[in-house]
Amino acid sequence: MMGGMKKKLVIVATSGLEEQANLLKGLISANDDVEGQTVGTRDGEVEVVVWDDKHFEANKNTLSSEQNVFFVGTSKRVMSEINALEYFEKFSKFGIKIFENGNFAALIVENRDTPNDEYEQFYSYCEENQKRIKEKLELHSSEEKLNGKVALASTLGGSLTKAVDLAYGARSFVKGFSNKKKVINQKYLAGVQVFYFGHMQSFLDN
């Protein structure tokens, strides 16, 4: 962090996706780096706020060129900004799509039913990601720090431990595969998780 300047991030949540946006805010705000290893974003280097799309539309002209914007979901109010972004294939699968261009990025999930076989693959993918994340944390964390993260989950809605469980505990709160809205919400949670752990710091450093 040069000269003490923090990165500034605005997360724009469209209606119904406030939980996912606040999960991402919680992940970024949590002190989750372990033993010199950056987990997601570097601790203490990002100032983050959550806006709804109405607030973004009213205030987008006040944003500076140094601020990053991450859209969670889409609507008519933000579609023109998202249309200017490029599809980021590396982090896009199962109808979960990431777009990025400069200081702007977006997470969008296709509004469609998920066939049973695709849901099985999605669930396995989430389980594997969960395993990798937990292995990384266990590798670089002392027992005291790991216990601290578990305690943190009870007080921070977007903490690291709760985020892992929330994003990847898929079957516990979906009865069957036909509940389209809940499956889409799961995919948004997984997308937030994957982008945070896999690319958020690089996005902020651009």
Where does the pLDDT of residue 104 fall: very low under 50, low under 70, confident under 90, or very high at 90 and above? very high
Q: Quick check: 11 pLDDT over 90?
A: yes
Q: Quick check: 83 pLDDT over 50?
A: yes
- pLDDT reported for residue 69: 96
Chain CA centroid to CA 117, Å: 25
Q: pTM of the entire structure? A: 0.78
Residue 156: both structure tokens together: 């921070």
pLDDT tens by residue, 161-203: 444 444 444 444 343 445 788 888 888 988 888 888 878 888 8
Among 177, 106, 163, 174, residue whose Cα is nearest residue 129: 163
pLDDT tens by residue, 132-163: 766 666 655 555 444 444 433 333 333 334 44
Residue recorded with tokens 């937990």:
134
Pairing of strands 104-109, 67-72: parallel
- pLDDT reported for residue 13: 95
pLDDT tens by residue, 30-76: 666 566 666 666 776 788 999 999 999 999 999 998 899 999 999 99
Percent of residues, the chain, with pLDDT higher than 70: 68
